[in-house]
Structure formats: C-alpha cells, structure tokens
Amino acid sequence: MSKEHNFQPKIIGIICNWCCYGGADLCGVSRFQYPPHIRLIRVMCSARVDMLHIHRALTNGQDGIFIGGCHLCDCHYVTNGNFNAYSMVQVFRKLLKHIGIYPERLRIEWVSAGEGIRFANFMNEYSDELIKLGPIGKAEGINQETLAFKLEAIKRIIPYIKLVITQRLHLSERTEEAYHKFFKSEEFDRLFDELILDSLVKSQITLLLQKNNLSTGEIAAALGLSPSEVSKHMSDSSKQGLVRFDLNSKSYAIA
C-alpha cells in the first residue's frame, strides 16, 4: 500500500433510492463536505446492484466501488434485498483477494435517509483509504494486461456465481448476526473454494488456451499453480468436453 503524490481515486457509488440516496441528499443540503471525485448512481434497491456492474467499473479503471443501502432488517421491500447485496459483496471481495486485488476497493455500507453526517464521514474515510492503497493494479503490482485477464476470467463465470449465491449461500435466517457469522466462517471458505474457486481456475485456463495451446507445465507457470493442480482441472475439463489433449504437440487446446 502506498500513497501517491496528488493521487485522486476514481470512485463509483451505487446507492439505494430510499435510504442512502436520502442520506446523500441530506448531506448536500446540510453542506457536509465529502470528496468531489465520487460519482453516485441511484438504484431503487441495493439488491439491484449486479456483479457485472462491479466488474464493469473495475474494468473501466475505477479505484473503488461502494454500495449503499438501507440498514439490514430495515429494507423498504419485503424481500430484504440488502441481504442479497451483502452476500454478493462478500463473495466478490473474496474473488478480488484471490486475484490479487485489495478487497477493500469494494465496500458496502448502510445509511438511512436521516444520516447525512454518517454518509459524509464514510465518504471521507473511504476516499482516504483508497488514496493510501493507490491506483488499482499499479498499487497491487499487477500490470493492466494481467488485471484485464483476471477480471475477464471472473466475468465469464458470473452467471454461475449468482446461481451459487442463490442456491448454496442463501441463509434462511435473515438477521445481521447470522450473515456476519456465516461469511466469516470456515464453512463459507470451504464452499467458496469448492464451488467458485475451481470454476475461476478453469475459466482462467480456458482464456489462456484461446490464445495458444499449452502444456500442463506452461499453464501451471502462467497461473502460479502446481502441475498436479493443473492436471486435476484439465482432467475435469476434458471430461466436460471443454478442452482436448493434442498428442503431437503434447499440449492442451480448446475442444
């Protein structure tokens, strides 16, 4: 983490119409100060924020994305959509950490319509944190080509990830305590590795093979994996008809 001279982070905020937007509006009316380089987008509910929105913001060079909604258990919709937004953010933050991006770049906060000062305080604190982190990619030591590759691998499995969140990471008990406990648990870590991480690795391998045929060793070197890990993924992908092994070149190719 480093603080660059005169670095001004690009920040997108996607905020709920009923609560967080009201708080932002009150913040302006009350003349509470927060950084001018933050761009706000209003949606009807924080649950309307899609992983593709986050992906697009990061791909376009945003240094930070925050999602603002009603306080948990205080959603204006009977579905309590902010719990869905919270789940999605926890999964995406874990994805970012896995590909080498600071997960702090993505945040979710709860602000009511009467909490203008809370909104201003959060915006100032978040901006300061991103300034300390530095520009996305450069601060992490990842060049733009590698960053684009890793984000594209995530994008390709977003529909599958959304299904996993709905079917396997959905909690029947919709309380703040239950959600915080689950997403900090070893059970969540296990499910993430088993259901999402494997698919992400396969997505990265597929992207690599679209450019060139590669051997197990070359794939392992490119992704920082062991040859045995790659062999396992290639065996699974071969059975699914996604890749094939070329005997002449002794390398894998897209099926």
Tens of pLDDT, residue by residue over 186-235, are 999 999 999 999 999 999 999 999 999 999 999 999 999 999 999 999 99
Alpha helical stretches, state H, the chain = 20-29, 51-59, 81-98, 116-133, 144-156, 158-167, 176-183, 186-191, 198-211, 216-223, 227-239
Is the whole model's pTM more than 0.85, yes or no?
yes
Residue showing tokens 């890990």: 229
pLDDT of residue 6: 82
Tell me the pairing of strands 106-110 and 38-43.
unpaired
Query: What does residue 99 show for φ and ψ, rounded to 5 degrees?
Result: -90, 5
- What is the Cα–Cα distance from 90 to 216, expressed in whole angstroms? 32
pLDDT of residue 211: 93
CB distance 246 to 213 below 8 Å: yes
DSSP structure class, residue 157: T
pLDDT beyond 80 at 154: yes
Dump pLDDT digits (tens) for 48-65.
999 999 999 999 999 999
- What is the Cα–Cα distance from 106 to 223, expressed in whole angstroms? 24
The first and second tokens of residue 15, run together, are: 């905020």
Q: Which of 88, 86, 57, 53 is nearest to 69 (CA)?
A: 86
pLDDT beyond 70 at 2: no
- What is the Cα–Cα distance from 46 to 22, expressed in whole angstroms? 13
Q: How many CA atoms lie within 13 A of 22 on its CB side?
A: 15
Question: For all residues of the chain together, what is the average pLDDT?
Answer: 94
Banded model confidence at residue 4, pLDDT cuts 50, 70, 90: low
Amino acid of residue 108 = I
